[in-house]
């Protein structure tokens, strides 16, 4: 899962294309809008409200062709690995928890897709 800010005048899917290009130098054949979420988060002792647009697309190249530009690591994970709530970084040799909002988005996607 990758994220970033939607720039003024961009659609959520356009932002998805841009973010994937910036983060892993990849342009998928298509990106589909999935769902919008409202999320509240405390940042520097202030409650902030966020609108999160969830989109998805297909990976049609091998992982070896992706070029990590931003972030610490990159990996592909099975549904079962994601359902554990933690993912192993090959580069950093440790597990990292999946934050609850991301797990919620994943469960929503699985339920919608009937997986």
Retrieve residue 52's tokens: 């999160």
Question: Dihedral through CA 96, CA 6, CA 61, CA 57, nearest 10?
Answer: 90
pLDDT in tens, 63-102: 899 999 988 888 889 999 999 999 999 999 999 998 877 8
Q: What is the pLDDT of residue 115?
A: 62
Q: What is the DSSP letter of 6?
A: P
Regarding predicted confidence, which is higher, 104 or 94? 94
Can you tell me whether residue 66 is helix, strand or coil? coil
19's tokens: 């973010």
| Mean pLDDT, the chain, whole residue set | 87
Structure tokens at 84: 């554990």
Give residue 36's pLDDT.
83
Cβ proximity of 74 and 66 under 8 Å: yes
Task: Give the residue extent of every domain in the chain.
Answer: 12-113
């Amino acid at each position: 899962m990758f994220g970033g800010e939607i720039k003024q005048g961009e659609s959520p899917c356009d932002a998805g294309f841009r973010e994937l290009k910036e983060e892993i130098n990849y342009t998928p054949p298509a990106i589909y809008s999935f769902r919008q979420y409202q999320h509240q988060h405390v940042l520097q002792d202030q409650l902030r409200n966020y609108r999160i647009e969830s989109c998805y697309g297909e990976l049609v190249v091998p992982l070896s062709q992706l070029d990590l530009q931003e972030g610490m690591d990159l990996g592909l994970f099975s549904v079962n690995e994601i359902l554990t709530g933690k993912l192993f970084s090959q580069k950093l040799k440790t597990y990292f928890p999946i934050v609850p909002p991301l797990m919620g988005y994943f469960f929503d996607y699985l339920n919608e897709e009937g997986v």
